[in-house]
Amino acid sequence: MTEVSSVDAGETPAGRSAGYVQSLDRGLAVIRAFDAEHPRLTLSDVARRTGLTRAAARRFLHTLVDIGYVDADGRLFTLRPRVLELGYAYLSALGLPEIARPHLERLAAVLGESSSVSVLDGTDITYVARVAARRIMSVDLGVGTRLPAYATSMGRVLLAGLPTDELDDHLGHLVPLTRYTITERTQLLAELDRVREQGWSIVDEELEEGLRSMAAPVHDRNGDVVAAVNVSTAARRGSVTTMVDEILPHLHAAARAISDDLAASR
């Protein structure tokens, strides 16, 4: 996780609305300072990662401790399980996880592979539903997991579904995650054009060596891409052509079913 931009200015930042509440922004920045790589932080760590002064970071941390979102153990602070309420409130309002799950379960059962649904959040994708068939990645994946959109099959489907004038805001820094990761902007844009035209994406060992994934878009009733569904498999399973022949028809069927149910629920 990169450091959170400074929110410690004394006046409303440029570009914010008249109703902007800076203290809320600061409190959320403190929560976002914790991640999988930094689960335990000192006061100094939080101040550095958020851009807050130590005094401000201390006030927000103590407030979060008081209301049950952060735990303090000596000099170290950690998030408490109650912080999950913030994410679950979003997921409950979305309705997508409940709609997608039975389709993911069928897809995983038919193919014997893990399947997931994600949405675009800034330059990342966020998993909102997942059915794991077996462990194929060296990192744990679950609801709430964030991965860089540019290097994932679901991310490319979601990026390809954006209006052209919004794409730049969601690409982020193209850094190599493996020796196969596309990091040239022109090459990535060409790949997104291909994804947009064919209606699906495949990422072959670009996120993690040994992992291959394929994704298709989920549409709302207006035809807009609002989510993506994927299947992940070990690259050793077979060729990309084999994956297209054996997996893509089932993936497209699941994506259409989720889209239909999502449209009927709104």
Per-residue pLDDT tens over the stretch 33-62: 998 888 999 999 999 999 999 999 999 999
Give the per-residue pLDDT at 142. 75
Among the listed residues 228, 49, 50, the one whose alpha carbon sits nearest the alpha carbon of residue 126: 228
Give the per-residue pLDDT at 88. 66
Whether 6 has a pLDDT exceeding 70, the answer reads no
Token duo for residue 22: 């800076």
Whether 235 has a pLDDT exceeding 70, the answer reads yes
Domains of the chain: 22-84 (1.10.10.10), 95-265 (3.30.450.40)
Q: What pTM, to 2 d.p., does this model score? A: 0.68
Mean pLDDT for the stretch of residues 135-144? 60
Mean pLDDT for the stretch of residues 12-37? 83
